[in-house]
Amino acid sequence: MGGFWGSRFLVTGLSRLAIEIMMTDPYGENLAELVTATKRTGIQNILETNLRSERAEVLQRPLGSPRKFVDFDGLMFVGSHLDRQPLPHTIPVHTRVVIGPQAAKPLCIETPLIVSGMAYKTALSASMKYAFARGASLAGTATNTGEGPFLPKERTLADRLIVQYPRTPLYRTYEMLTQADAIELQLGQGATAGAKQVPYPHLIKTELPPLRESKDLPKVVHFLREAGGGVPVGVKFSFTNNLEREMDLCLEAGVDFFALEGAQGASVGAPPILQDDFGLPTIMGLPRAVKHLRDRGVQGQVSLIVSGGFVSPGQCLKALALGADAIYLGTMVLFAASHTQSLKAVPWEPPTQLALYGGKVAKKFNPVQGGKNLGNYLISCNEEIKEGVRALGKHALHQVNALDLVSLDEQTAAITGIPLAYKRPAYSNGKTRATVLPGGK
C-alpha cells in the first residue's frame, strides 16, 4: 500500500510539474510547439521527413495514399416505396457477371467482386496467396496472380484464376498462360501510375513478347488470346487524363476487358509522390470510361473492371450503377483474410508483416482459416449488395443504373453527370421522368 501511494504521489507530482512547464515556458522552448507543428504539417509528413533524413533513398509506402480524394460518398441511392416497391428478402437477386462476353471462353463469376492482382514474392507470401484462392473459390469469384511468380498450388486452389502478364513478362512461360481463365496485361496501376518496371531481360522467355511501345500492343494481345485458348484478354492501367486515347489504342488491339484503377489504389510499397500526386480518383475516371465505351458502341461487349479505394459494399454498388461491370478489391481483401490472425503480429510488428513475403510473422499465418474468413467477407458483401438491389425494387444487378442515384453536392454532380438531389427532374405524368446519365447523356 505504501508503494502504491508513493507511486501515485510521484506520478501526480511529475504530471503537475510537466503541465506547469508547458504552461509557463516561452513558446520557442515549449514542447507544446509540437502541437502547432504537427497540426500544420501532419504527423505523416513529419514521419516521412524523418525516414527520408535517415536514408538517402526513395520511400516505399505500403497500402496506398492517405490523401482524402473525392469519392463515392457524394452519391446516394433513390429508395423505392410506392412507385416501385422494394422486394422482400425472400426474392432472389441475380449478381452473376460475365467478363469478356465476346471472348470464346468468357469468365463467369457469381459476384461482381474480384480479388485484385497482388504478387507472390515481390509482395505477398505464398500462404496469403493460397488464402486468396480459397476465399475467392468459396465466394464463386476469381482471384488474380499479380505480376509475381506463378504458384501451381494457387492455380489448383482457385476455381477461376486471372493470370497477370507484365509488360516485361518476368516469371511467365507459355504453359502458365494456357492455365488462365482470363489474362490481364499489366500496363500500370493506381499506386504507381505507369512507372516502368525494372527490366531483367535475361529472365524473359524467348517465346513471350514484351510490350515496349504502343505499336506492340496488337501483337501481344493476339499472342495472349492464342495462348489462353480463347479466354478474355484485358489490360490494366491507371485512370489518367488521356484516358480516352489510351482506351482507343487498347480497343484497336482487340481487348475483351479493361481493368482501370484510380489514384486510391494501393500496393506493397510505392513512392509517395506516385501515390499522392499522379492519376485520377476512381470516381473521376469511371464516368469517362463508361461514356467512351458507349460512344465507341462497345459497352456491354467490352467489360469494365474498376478498382481503387473501395471499402464498402455500398461504394461498390454505386460504381456498378455508374456503369462498371465488376470491382477489384485489394486492401480490404488483405484485412479480411488476416482478420483476427493480425493479432499474431501486434503489438511488436505491424499486421503487414503477417502477409508479406519474408514477413517477420508470415509463417504464423494459417491460409485455410484466412481463406474461410475471406470467403465469408466476399459472400457477406455480395449479400449486402443484393439487399441494396432489392431496396431499389429490382431483381438483378445489371438492372441497377445511373437513374437510381442522386448527387449530394455540385462537385459530384459535375463529375458524374448525376443530378443533384434537390434538382431531381420532376415526374411528368406520375410514370416517367427525365433521364440524365454520366457524361450528360
Q: What is the DSSP string of 232-258?
A: -EEEEEE--TTHHHHHHHHHHHT-SEE
List the grid coordinates of 105: 471462353
Q: Could you count the other beta carbons within 10 Å of the beta carbon of residue 441?
A: 12
Query: For residue 80, what pLDDT is reported?
Result: 76
How far apart are alpha carbons 226 and 206 in whole angstroms?
16
Residue numbers in the chain where pLDDT is lower than 70: 27-29, 32, 64, 190-206, 268-269, 423-441
What is the per-residue pLDDT across 128-179, written as a single tens digit (0 to 9) for each? 999 999 999 999 999 999 988 999 999 999 999 999 998 888 889 999 999 9
Query: For residue 372, what pLDDT is reported?
Result: 97
Q: Tell me how far CA of residue 141 lies from CA of 216, 359, 417, in angstroms.
A: 31, 28, 31
> Is the peptide bond prior to 347 cis by the omega test (within 30 degrees of 0)?
yes
Supply the pTM of this predicted model.
0.85
Query: For residue 434, what pLDDT is reported?
Result: 42
Query: For residue 428, what pLDDT is reported?
Result: 44
How far apart are alpha carbons 142 and 231 in whole angstroms?
13
**Closest by Cα among 173, 170, 139, 137 to 155:** 137
Q: Tell me how far CA of residue 191 lies from CA of 55, 61, 238, 327, 432, in angstroms.
A: 22, 10, 8, 17, 43
Query: For residue 429, what pLDDT is reported?
Result: 45
Query: For residue 391, what pLDDT is reported?
Result: 93
Beta bridge mates, 117: 144
Q: Which domains does the chain have, with CATH numbers?
A: 14-54 (no CATH), 72-403 (3.20.20.70)
Of all helices (H) and strands (E), which one includes residue 314? helix 313-322
Position 124, amino acid: L
Q: Count CA within 13 A, CB hemisphere, residue 257.
A: 29
Please report the DSSP string for 45-62 in residue order. HHHHHHHHHHSSS---BS
